[in-house]
Amino acid sequence: MLVGLGAPDDAAVYRLDDEHALIQTVDFFTPIVDTPYEYGAIAAANALSDVYAMGGRVLFALNIAAFPPQLPPWMLADVLRGGADVVRSVGAAIAGGHTIQDKEPKYGLVVTGMAHPDKIMTKGGAREGDLLVLTKPLGTGVITTAIKRELADEAEVSAAIRSMTWLNKAASEACLAAGVKAATDITGFGLLGHALEMAEASGARLRIEFDRLPWLPGALRHAEKWAFAGGAFNNKSFYGPAVTLTRPLEEWQEILLHDPQTSGGLLAAAPRDALPTFIDACSPAGQEVWVIGEVTAGEGAEVGVEIV
């Protein structure tokens, strides 16, 4: 076992031999958008992301679902079709699964992938001088909350869905091309929660520049109106003490940094001299990249995230 409960990461990794390591993860959640097909596609993209965060390729997946019995069959079919289309788009397949009845819909995947044992990316590989790169804009939590409150407009909803269904495959391949050793995907713990996991695992300090952070259309507007999911406040309560603010922020801006993300981008610590390689590898796939900060030295009380 290369990665398991001893050093928790985005997925478990088991060495098969000198050339092959098996990656496995599971993820599922309740609907965050109103359309069944998009819900299935987002849930699948989110589950696949853990394999990509480890530097792997997807082999196959299993459905895991809970559906209320009163839902019409076409709606359930659309959820499963959305997930299957995403998995098929990366050359993999849905190979089975398991469903139960439940009062609230839930859907996701058990995903199996493969990687070379020497090229596995973990949360603990960030080194002083590395640049922090982010591969998707932030703000899915406030946008999906605004959707539930009927506050989001059509353009904001479309942009959020497009981001959440965008796969981290190209970003992962760019990480491998640039020799990245540390990466994680930004999901339920928000940007700062996942950044702190990387900082702690690496024994380093991450310095993030607030003004460099990319946001989905409408994210700042809805955040200023306090369209936050409850998870944002839980994240701030848990991770906030390890965050140092060296610049003044409005309270809503600070909470926005803890906004729970769904199918977010990769946060990677890229060697400074490999950044051009990383960007060049992203370009053919149309993968966007934002440099949002750097890794600095730190240990003990200095392990954490600094917002500048």
Band the pLDDT of 170: cuts 50, 70, 90: very high
Angle at 288 between CA 282 and CA 292, to 5 degrees: 110
Domain that holds residue 148: 131-307
> How many other CB atoms are found less than 10 A from the CB of residue 230?
9
- 304 vs 308: CA distance, rounded Å: 13
Run of H or E including 159: helix 154-165
My answer on whether 297 and 173 are in the same domain is yes
Angle at 38 between CA 189 and CA 187, to 5 degrees: 10
Output the domain CATH number for residue 286.
3.90.650.10
Instruction: For the full predicted model, state whether its pTM sits above 0.85.
Output: yes
Instruction: Classify residue 1: in a domain, yes or no.
Output: no
Q: What is the largest CA-CA distance in the chain?
A: 56
My answer on whether 60 and 146 are in the same domain is no
The total domain count for the chain is: 2
Q: What is the pLDDT of residues 5-43, one digit of tens each?
A: 988 899 999 999 999 999 999 999 999 999 999 999 999
Residue corresponding to tokens 């709606």: 75
Average the pLDDT over 141-154 and give the result. 95
Band the pLDDT of 306: cuts 50, 70, 90: confident
